[in-house]
């Protein structure tokens, strides 16, 4: 009887366990929470979303949209639950985070081939193992990973989470609903600023007191999740061309486009909680209250969760992992999730899906699946396995896919063509990735 152990029940571990179980493998899914706490998590549920509740762009003309569609077509548990828990977010797919995590947990706990163990793992166990312990892996397990892989320590970068405020505390006489960049419905709350307000706010951010983070330096901040105060220090207009960009956000009451705008997106289906889009931060909590209360409409905001900063660890995967997320030279040891150098929710789920697929096939004596580089799944796998002296975590993007052979004018048209090609390639693999499903 085929057996496997999955360490960690985040997005990657949950997806890997599901794919293994669907293919007849008895899975022990080990999760340390809630018995052991994490600096970023708040519950013991599986696949908890610790930063934004957005899974990013939904359209096929976006790379995240393509990856999500590939995950749907390959039977992803994460995407199935996300689609069922979706809430309005314009051109993005956002979910009710509590309902989403609860659904993933219930589905896995109910599967007859999944056994859940709630304990901390300090040593990589014997057997067929997928390590999906996440970007906060530390202590004894991190040491065990280093010994197993023959490197002194994982690399690290720093990641940040945005604050969440109560909708009831937002002054809607000053804020207004509008779509994000004129895409979708008016799902975002917009807090407008004139030049004077913006200048004062940016100055306050630059001088606000940060929470102590050991070893923190601006150059180590992962660009895709940069703290808002770091952006403020990079130039007077950095925020206005980043998360506070006012394009397409005219106030419907006046017709005037603000000098800058802070956007908030619903964080739950009831729309009682809103997160500050792009406002990841590691300011001290009192400083967050003081500075963010300068935003028009948030003067009396109730902060349901302040922004937090935490260290994220990842491997130098090129040279350590192959394109199946398997350790080179150790066919029973696999990794999945952000620890491999994929960055983002859906990217983590994608790595878990690929690792689960292929470990199950290996246990059945079948050839492993090579997702083509023209697909988003294949492109991510190549990113973490292709030698790169300056290897860094990466979100899915069309730059990872090989270009179309013919020149296509217009970015949207070009990206749509890349997406259609990817889905055609994936369709050709359908008989392979479905042949070992347990009836």
Q: What is the pTM of this model?
A: 0.81
Q: What confidence category does residue 222 fall into, taking pLDDT thresholds of 50, 70 and 90?
A: low
Q: How confident is the model over 271-299, as pLDDT tens digits? A: 888 999 999 998 999 999 999 999 999 99
pLDDT mean across residues, the chain: 90
pLDDT over 50 (residue 217): no
Give the model's confidence band at 322: pLDDT under 50 very low, under 70 low, under 90 confident, else very high: very high
For 358-372, the pLDDT digits (tens) are 999 999 999 999 999
Residues ≥6 apart with Cβ < 8 Å to 55: 64, 68, 82, 92, 93, 94, 95, 345, 346
Q: Which domains does the chain have, with CATH numbers?
A: 3-154+315-434 (3.50.50.60), 161-311 (2.40.30.260)
* Averaged pLDDT, 217-244: 81
The CB-based long-range contact list for 229-236 (8 Å cut-off, 24+ gap) reads: 229/205, 229/281, 229/282, 229/283, 232/202, 232/205, 232/206, 233/205, 233/206, 236/199, 236/202
pLDDT at 219 over 60: no
The pLDDT-based confidence of 182 (bands split at 50, 70, 90) is low
Closest CA to 105 of 75, 81, 70: 81
pLDDT band at 427 (very low <50, low <70, confident <90, very high): very high
Q: What is the pLDDT of residues 83-141, one digit of tens each?
A: 999 998 888 899 999 999 999 999 999 999 999 999 999 999 999 999 999 888 888 99
Which positions ≥6 away from 156 have C-beta within 8 Å? 220, 311, 312, 313, 314
pLDDT of residue 185: 73
Q: What is the pLDDT of residues 4-60, one digit of tens each?
A: 999 999 999 999 999 999 999 999 999 987 776 665 556 778 999 987 889 988 899
SS3 content of the chain, % helix, strand, coil (to 5): 35, 20, 45
Q: Do 264 and 189 form a contact (C-beta atoms < 8 A)?
A: yes
Q: Give the residue-averaged pLDDT of 190-197.
A: 96
pLDDT computed for residue 169 by the predictor: 93
């Amino acid at each position: 009887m085929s057996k496997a152990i999955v360490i960690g029940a985040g997005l990657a571990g949950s997806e890997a366990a599901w794919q293994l179980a669907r293919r007849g493998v008895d899975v022990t899914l080990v999760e340390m929470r809630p018995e052991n706490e994490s600096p970023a998590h708040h519950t013991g549920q599986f696949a908890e979303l610790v930063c934004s509740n957005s899974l990013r762009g939904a359209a096929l003309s976006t790379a995240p949209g393509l990856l999500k569609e590939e995950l749907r077509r390959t039977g992803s548990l994460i995407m199935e639950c996300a689609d069922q828990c979706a809430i309005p977010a314009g051109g993005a797919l956002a979910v009710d985070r509590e309902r989403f995590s609860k659904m993933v947990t219930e589905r896995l706990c109910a599967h007859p081939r999944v056994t859940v163990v709630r304990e901390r793992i300090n040593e990589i166990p014997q057997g067929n193992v997928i390590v999906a312990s996440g970007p906060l892996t530390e202590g004894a397990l991190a040491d065990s990973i280093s010994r197993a892989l023959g490197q002194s320590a994982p690399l690290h970068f720093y990641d940040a989470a945005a604050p969440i405020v109560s909708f009831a505390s937002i002054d809607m006489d000053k804020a207004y609903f509008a779509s994000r960049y004129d895409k979708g419905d008016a799902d975002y709350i917009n807090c407008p600023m004139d030049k004077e307000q913006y200048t004062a706010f940016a100055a306050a951010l630059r001088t606000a007191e940060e929470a102590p983070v050991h070893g923190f330096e601006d150059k180590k901040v992962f660009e895709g999740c940069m703290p808002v105060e770091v952006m403020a220090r990079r130039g007077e207009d950095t925020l206005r061309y980043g998360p506070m960009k006012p394009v397409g956000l005219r106030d419907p009451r006046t017709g005037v486009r603000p000098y800058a705008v802070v956007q908030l997106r619903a964080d739950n289906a009831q729309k009682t909680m809103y997160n500050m889009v792009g406002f990841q931060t590691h300011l001290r909590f009192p400083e967050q209250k003081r500075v963010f209360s300068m935003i028009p409409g948030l003067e009396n905001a109730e902060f349901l969760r302040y922004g937090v900063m935490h260290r994220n660890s990842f491997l130098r995967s090129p040279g350590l992992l192959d394109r199946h997320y398997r350790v080179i030279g150790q066919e029973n040891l696999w990794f999945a999730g952000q620890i491999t150098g994929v960055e983002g929710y859906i990217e983590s789920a994608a790595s878990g899906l690929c690792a689960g697929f292929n470990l199950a096939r290996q246990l059945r004596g079948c050839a492993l699946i090579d997702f083509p580089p023209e697909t988003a799944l294949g492109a991510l796998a190549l990113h973490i396995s292709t030698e790169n002296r300056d290897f860094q975590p990466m979100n899915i993007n069309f730059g990872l896919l090989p270009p179309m052979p013919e020149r296509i004018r217009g970015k949207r048209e070009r990206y749509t063509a890349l997406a259609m090609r990817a889905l055609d390639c994936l369709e050709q693999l359908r008989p392979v990735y479905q042949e070992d499903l347990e009836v």
